[in-house]
Chains A and B, each alone.
Chain A
Amino acid sequence: MAECLYSRTKTIQEDKVSGFCPGCMHSTVMKLIGEVIDEMGIIDRTAAVLGIGCCGLQMDYMAYDNITSPHGRACAVATGMKRANPDTLYFTYQGDGDLASIGLAETVSAANRGENFTVIFINNGIYGMTGGQLAPTTLFGMKASTAPKGRIAEEHGYPMHVCETLNQLTAPQYLVRTSCNTPQNVMKTKQAIRKAFEYQLAGKGFSLVEIVTSCPTNWGLDSLKALDFLEENMLKEYPLGVVRDKG
């Protein structure tokens, strides 16, 4: 008798195929979020607030409620939703361009108010959807289509550390940086998402899970080389770990 060791979370529609590029960690994170929702048994009271970017590629096949916000405004949209309807679990899902460039004011302001929702922040160091332009998180030595010589401090400033920046604020409950480069880190990411959701259900306020991910397509690397690049470069600039946990 065959034993079922794994089946896909029902939070992803069965008949649909992923829209993400091969090797893209967006799809890993989407699956982890789905599994957490599944395991917590909260699909009937969960909704995603999607940013604009490759994150939007999942809306067609995620099985639960979702709304798309204007580029960068997810934290404002989620503020309105959660305040108007506190019984639902809301999480935003945003890329680095969305969250840390065009949406920086909305992100910092929501964090500073201690809004009781969760931010899932996909840091791939680049604008994925629009074809590899410079992001606030782009590393030195990383070429971008709008920074052909790579990031230059005098011109572009320095890679932005979102968790550490938000750690200057008093209100946030939980700020953590994870990755999905190893099975162990995938599990840690899942645990972080679960913890953030549990904090929200307990009414503890703003939580943000930053996930350092790869964008093989716009990094110009195959999936494996992208993993190497992530480990050798991204994780040096963006060290993993809990930045704040009020408990």
Chain B
Amino acid sequence: MARTFMKGSEAVAEAAVRAGCRFFAGYPITPQNEVPEYFSRRLPEVGGVFVQGESEVASINMVYGAASTGVRSMTSSSSPGIALKSEGISYCAAARIPIVYTNFARGGPGVGSIQPAQMDYFEATKAAGNGGFQMIVLAPSTVQEAVDLTVKAFELADRDRNPVHILADGVIATMMEPVELPDMMPEEKVKEIRESKRKWACVGHELDYKNRAWIEPGHWLTSKQQECNEEAAAMYEEWKKKDVMVEEYMVSDADIVLTAYGISGRIAKSAVELLRKKGIKAGLIRPITLNPFPVEAFEKLDYSKVKAILDVEMSIPAQYATDVEAVVRRRCPVEKCLCSGGNIMSREAVIDAVMKIAGQEA
């Protein structure tokens, strides 16, 4: 462990290298240009490969190719670029190729604004590409958490042979914070992981009709396609049992429960601290996995005591709130505190919204 002061985008890239990532392809887009820039310096130092793709479309396909040879591989972008990657992401999910990709989201739709936003929630959790596939989606709220989740993302991707998505935002990308970096994975371990995938990796095999590597992102036979989809669906169900991560902060006695993910979650948490000082019983549910969704955290609430849930989200219209509403099922009102277009959530606005629910003037 080494404690250092780093920008989020660079810390994520360094964490990936330390987690054994040896291939990165990406295309420049604000606010995460430091990610490809960092990889371009760092990967050659560890015998890895950096490619600046001619587009996001090409970059994700390079990652699809590299990961298909068994190498831990990653790409990164921001909202409009992520949309372009959806083709390749869907192929990785279909062919069960483990990759990791980050979205340092910015305002949308269209080219939107280059400032931080949370406008890509539906895309990340519901339809990151065609075909109804799913991924584990991780949402860091600090640079430290972004580092830790990057390491975790590679482990989960390899465990499941499935893409893992880190949905961050422009704040995480550009903010500098002290972080503890993980230890560098020893080179033997990097090789061992690669070797463990050799059986299915597309690298050439001794002539044997059954044991050739056949990376299939689709199937001629509808029965085979359905079988693969059923297998994937079963895996998604397993995630709900074993992979949910959530931070619950001062929830047990709360009568107003804030809920938010990523950078909004962090802002909401500091609002809860201030509200408690004012004597208001506020709490926070902050999903760390957006998929699988932390259903249990909402089921546990005592709805006879909870006056309202407040969704804090940098998206207009609200997106995350619809998943919250779906689990709350009208057992209490779900109020919203929203901003959008690249405006960062203001803590004062969150406090005001809670005070209003509490029936007090700010």
Contacts and interface: CB of A to CB of B under 8 A. Distances in A.
Contacts of B213: 47, 65-67
Chain A interface: which size bin?
35 or more
A80 B73 contact: yes
Contacts of A89: 204
Interface in A30-80: 42-47, 49, 59-60, 63-70, 73, 76-80
Interface string B191-235: 000000000011111110100111111101000000000000000
Contacts of B91: 69-70
B54 A67 contact: no
Interface stretch (B63-71, B140-148, B266-274): B63-71
Contacts of B68: 67, 77, 80-81
A84 interface: yes
B62 interface: yes
A81 B65 contact: yes
Q: Which of A13, A45, A70 has the most CB of B within 10 A?
A: A70
Contact of A45 (B66, B88, B203, B216): B203
A197 to B, nearest CB: 13
A70 B61 contact: yes
Contact of B62 (A59, A60, A77, A87): A77
Contacts of B218: 68
A105 B58 contact: yes
B182 interface: no
Contacts of B286: none
Interface residues of B, number: 43
Contact of B69 (A10, A59, A88): A88
Given A80-B51, A80-B66, A73 B71 contact: no
B209 A79 contact: no
Contact of B205 (A49, A65, A68, A87): A65
A106 interface: yes
Contacts of B59: 76
A80 B95 CA distance: 16
A68 B61 CA distance: 11
Given A60-B220, A81-B69, A44 B62 contact: no
Given A105-B54, A109-B54, A65 B61 contact: no
Contacts of B58: 73, 76, 79, 105-106, 109
A84 B204 contact: no
B51 A47 contact: no
B202 A66 contact: yes
Contacts of B53: 76, 109
A43 B88 contact: no
Interface in A94-115: 105-106, 109
A44 B198 CA distance: 12
A49 B62 CA distance: 12
A78 B206 CA distance: 21
B22 interface: yes
B62 A80 contact: yes
B23 A66 contact: no
Contact of B88 (A59, A65, A73): A73
Given A64-B212, A73-B58, A76-B57, A44 B69 contact: no
Contact of A65 (B65, B73, B214, B217): B214
A77 B64 contact: yes
Nearest to A11: B207
A85 interface: yes
B87 interface: yes
Contacts of A81: 65-66, 68-69, 202
A240 B146 CA distance: 55
Interface in A11-28: 11, 13
Contact of B25 (A67, A73, A80, A88): A80
B88 A70 contact: yes
A49 B65 CA distance: 9
B51 A79 contact: yes
A84 B49 contact: yes
A66 B217 CA distance: 11
Nearest to A45: B204
A83 B49 contact: yes
Contact of B55 (A45, A80, A105): A105
B73 A67 contact: no
Contacts of A82: 65
A78 B204 CA distance: 14
Interface string B150-167: 000000000000000000
Closest 7 CB pairs of A and B: A80-B65, A80-B62, A67-B215, A76-B61, A80-B66, A84-B66, A45-B204
Given A76-B62, A84-B73, 12 more contacts: A44-B206, A45-B203, A47-B204, A59-B214, A70-B217, A73-B57, A80-B63, A81-B66, A81-B69, A83-B23, A83-B62, A87-B203
